[in-house]
Amino acid sequence: MLVRNDKGIYSLSSFNNFKNLVCGFSTVGFGNMKPAGASQKTETDKNRSNFFRALSLTDPDFVTAQQIHGNRIAVLNRNNKEKEIKGVDGLVTKERNLFLLVFVADCLPILAFDPDKKIVGIAHAGWRGTLGKIAVNLITTLTRLGSNAEDILVGFGPAIEFCHYEVGADVAAKFNRAGLGKSVLRSISGKIYLDLKQANVEQLTNVGISKGNIDITPKACTYESADFYSYRQEKPNLSGEIACLIGLRND
């Protein structure tokens, strides 16, 4: 479950039991974490630094994903520090003190941790990435690096709840064709809604992640909560995105 600390950062309760694991989700109080252009970079760099300090990270090495609403995952090493990895929406590493970041404002952040093999991963899953099975790709990337699926813990960060995520019939049809029809919900009035969490849970369990190893917060809705940015709430003028971070410190 997502829990908020006195510094204004959310974390996953199931991940908080591991001494060297760092996991955190910023809030609007820290400001925008993803610059829309070069003019915003100074501001977002300052916001990120404040977020890192609140996580007790001093000038950490970190990597971001370009986030193109795709399904590709990059495996990182120390040479990737302070880079944005082009063409990917997910990141995985075995490196210590290399922190992985994605940014969201309604899309679902998926975090993964193998406490046995000490591997971490993160992915940004909107409806396109979900349809492209980015959650499956995240897990299979960990298993290629030596993880066993039954050992992997997965946590969902703040995202838009289905009751605010109306989609068109074309999107619904794509999910039905992909075998993800349980995530498509229709109201009495005929409106169609998409449950991103449900769609990703289905995919995760299909590749061997037990439901007991998936940390989901029933109501951590970016649309409803003033703690988070929401594209659907603010469109067309989104004011920012939160940062979602995972990584392992040295022992």
pLDDT category of residue 218 using cuts at 50, 70 and 90: confident
Please give the residue that has the higher pLDDT: either 92 or 218: 92
Q: How many domains does the chain have?
A: 1
Whether the per-residue pLDDT at 251 is higher than 80: the answer is: no
What tens digit of pLDDT does each residue of 198-213 get? 999 999 999 999 999 9
- Determine, yes or no, domain membership for 189: no
Structure tokens at 144: 């290629």
Helix (H) / strand (E) element for 198: namely: helix 196-206
- What residues make up the domain containing 24? 2-161+215-248
Average pLDDT, the chain: 97
Q: Inform me whether the pLDDT recorded for 36 exceeds 90.
A: no
d(CA 118, CA 113): 7
22, part of any domain: yes
Per-residue pLDDT tens over the stretch 104-139: 999 999 999 999 999 999 999 999 999 999 999 999
Q: How far apart are CA 152 and CA 115, in angstroms?
A: 7
For the cut 80, the answer to whether the pLDDT of residue 153 exceeds it is yes
Q: Between helices 196-206 and 134-144, what is the axis angle to 10°?
A: 30
Flag whether 91 is in a domain.
Answer: yes
Q: Is 134 inside a domain boundary?
A: yes
pLDDT > 90 fraction of the chain, expressed in percent and rounded: 94
Q: What is the CATH number of the domain that holds 109?
A: 3.60.140.10
Residue 40: helix, strand or coil by DSSP?
A: helix
Task: Say whether pTM exceeds 0.95.
Answer: yes
Q: What string of DSSP letters covers 204-216?
A: HHHTT--GGGEE-
What does the pLDDT average to over 175-183?
97
**H helices present in 34-181, as ranges:** 41-54, 127-131, 134-144, 169-177
User: pLDDT category, 37, cuts 50, 70, 90?
Assistant: confident
> Is 193 part of any domain?
no
Residue range 23-43: mean pLDDT, rounded: 94
Position 113 in a domain:
yes
pLDDT at residue 152, rounded to an integer: 98
In angstroms, rounded to a whole number, what is the distance separating the alpha carbons of residues 139 and 150? Answer: 11
pLDDT of 47 over the 80 cut: yes
Whether the predicted pLDDT of 81 surpasses 90: no
Q: Give the closest residue to 44 by CA, choosing from 61, 32, 60, 30.
A: 32
CB contact at 8 A, 60 and 81: no
Residue 175 lies in a domain: no
103 located within any domain? yes
The answer to whether residue 223 scores a pLDDT higher than 80 is: yes
